[in-house]
Amino acid sequence: MPEPSAMLSRPLHVAIIMDGNGRWAAQRGLPRLRGHEAGTESVQAVVRACRDRGIRYLTLYAFSVENWKRPREEVGGLMNLLVRFLRDQERELHAHAIRLRLIGRQEDLPEEVRRELDRVTNATRSYEKGHLILALSYGGRTEIATAARRIAEQVKAGHLEPAAVDEALFSRFLYAPDIPDPDLIIRTSGEMRLSNFLLWQSAYAELYVTPVLWPDFREREFEAALDEFSRRQRRFGGLGAEEGSSEAVS
Ligand code: FPP
């Protein structure tokens, strides 16, 4: 299982629950989709901020498995925004050697969106400098259940012994096993919950919740989250380096 970055003052992997687009729009008497549009600008700002600061992994919770329950118009609008974002962002990804990655049930997405996602993920496949990971039709429980099913199939086929199933093996069956666990999970708009995001991978993540609504979350707010992260002492269940037990990291 990828180790979290124990002693870094800067996170290797930041994951964000981008919440509050609807409220931002409602406060202005605008349709919800306008909030998502403004939120796309925050996405661009945060991608840029990660790039400038050398943060290698950025995961964005762009669409959850539960989001399909929203009105058809809003879902369609979000899918269009995603396609537009990919087209706008592609040049940036190439210019800065950033690889686009996906986690979630891609099979649920409309054909046009899948085509565009396939195209950009393939075109950026060889890049290593940064990883932009979009969680699309993503649910943490679905990810874990899917891994469990695939492991059960391997056991049934005689390729795997039940005794070999431990944390390290289990994590190899998740959507993107090579990506290190997030060091920092940011949630905007004040809600104190994970909402089915990266349930396995968040075990030791530092959580940062800000009341700022996602469309208002720009470079300055991101910087504040990073500052707060750099002040946290991460112990991973041990006693922590300052108490003389750095080997207790587990
Ligand atoms: C939550 O706000 C946000 C979403 C469900 C979608 C996030 C999408 C974007 C930021 C834009 C498109 C994404 C990319 C990657 C270009 P909400 O609608 O639940 O807000 P509310 O809780 O205030 O109603």
pLDDT in tens, 65-83: 999 999 999 999 999 999 9
8 is a domain residue: no
Point out the residues that are catalytic.
19, 67
Centre of ligand 1 from the C-alpha of residue 250, in Å:
34
For the Cβ of 210 lying below 6 angstroms from any atom of ligand 1, the answer is: no
pLDDT in tens, 5-18: 555 589 999 999 99
Flag whether pLDDT at 2 surpasses 50.
Answer: no
For the Cβ of 248 lying below 6 angstroms from any atom of ligand 1, the answer is: no
pLDDT in tens, 130-163: 999 999 999 999 999 999 999 999 999 999 999 9
Question: Please, which residues have CB within 8 angstroms of residue 227's CB and are 6 or more apart in sequence?
Answer: none
Supply angle C-alpha 133, 138, 140, rounded to 5: 105
94 is a domain residue: yes
pLDDT in tens, 42-69: 999 999 999 999 999 999 999 999 999 9
Centre of ligand 1 from the C-alpha of residue 186, in Å:
14
Centre of ligand 1 from the C-alpha of residue 40, in Å:
9
Supply angle C-alpha 13, 15, 17, rounded to 5: 175
Nearest CA to ligand 1 atom 13: 62
Whose tokens are 């470079």? That residue is 219
For the Cβ of 246 lying below 6 angstroms from any atom of ligand 1, the answer is: no
Best probe residue, ligand 1, of 17, 36, 100, 121 (max atoms within 8 Å of C-beta): 36
Helix ranges restricted to H, the chain: 21-27, 32-53, 72-95, 111-123, 140-156, 167-171, 219-231
Say how many C-beta atoms besides its own lie within 10 A of residue 222's C-beta. 22
58 is a domain residue: yes
161 is a domain residue: no
Centre of ligand 1 from the C-alpha of residue 214, in Å:
8
CATH of the domain at 203: 3.40.1180.10
104 is a domain residue: yes
Nearest-atom number in ligand 1 for the CA of 60 is 15
2 is a domain residue: no
63 is a domain residue: yes
Q: Which of 73, 18, 10, 71 is nearest to 42 (CA)?
A: 18
Domain count, the chain: 1
Domain region containing 22: 13-138+181-233
Q: Model's pTM, two decimal places?
A: 0.92
111 is a domain residue: yes
Whose tokens are 């409602």? That residue is 26
